Structure 1
Amino acid sequence: MFGRYRGTFRRECGDILVEAESVDGLVTYRRRCAGQTFERILVSNTGEVVINPVEPVNLPKEITDFLLVEFSPMMIEPGASRTVYLKFPVEIGVFVESARDIEVLDVFAFGTQKYTLYGSPTNGVIARYYESAVYPEIPQVDPFREGVMELSIHNTCREWVEVSRVVFESTDMKIYYGDFVAATATMKLLTKTMAETDFVDAPLRPGMVKSIELYTARKIPAIDRGYLMEWGFS
């Protein structure tokens, strides 16, 4: 399903159908997922259709740039570091690309998206919410529904810290895909209530392909600034 396509094509996987077919001399892009459909006529001589996983903060509409993953509580020893694996939601982006430009054509996903407030009602942020178990190794996932996040946690405090959630700025997110969808992230615990989070621009396994990021297609300047969690993480 993920990849680059030129001209007409048809890809079907379970409840997902994505195709571009010629009808009366016009190429029509068509998508069906979980009973919902989307269709557009494409006028292009040299363009390609690109399908890849994207930052999971776009559905049912653009509400926020933040992603919050809640997981089983962990107690982190002072000075300790640990790498674990979480699951995160996958949304699928479809782009039309030519030599001069790239544009978002479609974004879709399975299931219902949940959102939550991180922080206070006056100063907090709305975030896409997802719940995951904690895994010591890469878990099995459905690549069209969930991705694997490698999260490296480092406790710089002189105290034990309990961690059960992590918040990210999604515009920093670097997604790769192959047999599964993946992202690599870091979390530095600064105090018992503050942490810095960020994404690492590297594949989880050799040979994975980097996804086109939505902010690139939307012409939003790329600023990798990470995120400062000021409202705790438990």
Structure 2
Amino acid sequence: MFGRYRDTFHQESGDIMVETGSVDGLLTYRRRCEGQTFERILVSKTGEIVINPVEPGSLPRDITDFLLMEFPPMMIEPGATQTVYLKFPVEIGVFIESARDIEVLDIFGLGTQKYTLYGPPAGGVIALYCRSAIYPDIPPVEFYREGVMELSVQNLSLEWMEVSCAVFNSVDMKIYYGDFVATSATMRIISRTLAETDFVDAPLRPGMEKAVELNRARKIPVLNRGHLMEWGH
């Protein structure tokens, strides 16, 4: 299903159907996902439809740019670095692209989304919540529902640190896809309350295709990369 399409096409997988076709003489995009439908008339001579995984947080509407990953606690000694693998929720973006512009046409996904507050009520942030087991190697995933996050955790402090969650600004997220959907991230622990997180712009495996980023299609400039966790990890 992921890829580029011109004119009419039909793709179907399980509870997902995406297609373009002629309806009353007009080129029309139609999507069905778990019983929910979406339709738009397209007026284009040269445009392409691009379908790929996108950074999560836009469903059921555009709620937040933050993703909170919770996982079983890890104790990390001073100066140590550990790479682990997590599963994160995948959303699917559909874009309409021409030589001069690209625009978001549709975003959908399988399952339901959960949101939580990270930090105090007065100054915290709403984040998409995901709980994952920790895997020493790349785990199998349900293709259109979840992806693999490679997370490198580094303890820069002089003390043993316990870490059980990581909060990311998903605007910075770099997603690649092939046999599975993947992203790579880093977490640098500074103290018991502070940590820096960021994404790495590189495929998890050679040959993976880079997905179109939502901020590019929405014309959102990324001014500051990474996120500073101020309320514990």
Fold conserved between structures, TM > 0.5: yes
Q: How does 1:29-40 map to 2 (within 5 A)?
A: 29-40=29-40
CA shift digits 1:127-147 (9 cap, x unpaired): 000010000000000120001
CA shift digits 1:26-45 (9 cap, x unpaired): 11110000110001111111
CA shift digits 1:9-65 (9 cap, x unpaired): 000001100000123331111000011000111111110000000110101111111
- Verify: 1:123 aligned to 2:126, yes or no: no
CA shift digits 1:144-178 (9 cap, x unpaired): 00010000000011111011100000110000000
Q: Distance in 2 between matches of 1:24 and 1:228?
A: 52
Structure 1 counterpart SS, 2:168: strand
One-letter code aligned to 1:11:
Q
Aligned match of 1:213: 213
One-letter code aligned to 1:61:
R
The two structures have a TM-score, normalised by structure 1, of 0.98
Q: Distance in 1 between matches of 2:3 and 2:151?
A: 26
Aligned match of 1:73: 73
CA shift digits 1:66-110 (9 cap, x unpaired): 000100111011111010000100000000000011110000011
Structure 2 counterpart SS, 1:215: helix
- Verify: 1:87 aligned to 2:64, yes or no: no
Aligned CA RMSD, in angstroms, stands at 0.8
The two structures have a TM-score, normalised by structure 2, of 0.98
Q: How many residue pairs get matched? A: 233
Q: Is the CA contact 1:172–1:223 (under 8 Å) kept in the aligned structure 2?
A: no
Q: Is the CA contact 1:216–1:222 (under 8 Å) kept in the aligned structure 2?
A: no
Displacement after TM superposition at 1:224 (Å): 4.5
Q: Is the CA contact 1:80–1:155 (under 8 Å) kept in the aligned structure 2?
A: yes
Structure 1 counterpart SS, 2:123: coil
Decide whether aligned partners of structure 1 residues 175 and 139 sit closer, same or farther in structure 2, where only a CA change above 3 A counts.
same
Structure 1 runs (4+) greater than 4 angstroms displaced: none
Aligned match of 2:56: 56
- Verify: 1:22 aligned to 2:22, yes or no: yes
Aligned match of 2:3: 3
Aligned match of 1:111: 111
Q: Distance in 1 between matches of 2:38 and 2:119?
A: 36
One-letter code aligned to 1:202:
A
CA shift digits 1:115-134 (9 cap, x unpaired): 00000011111100001000
| Structure 1: gaps (5+ residues) | none
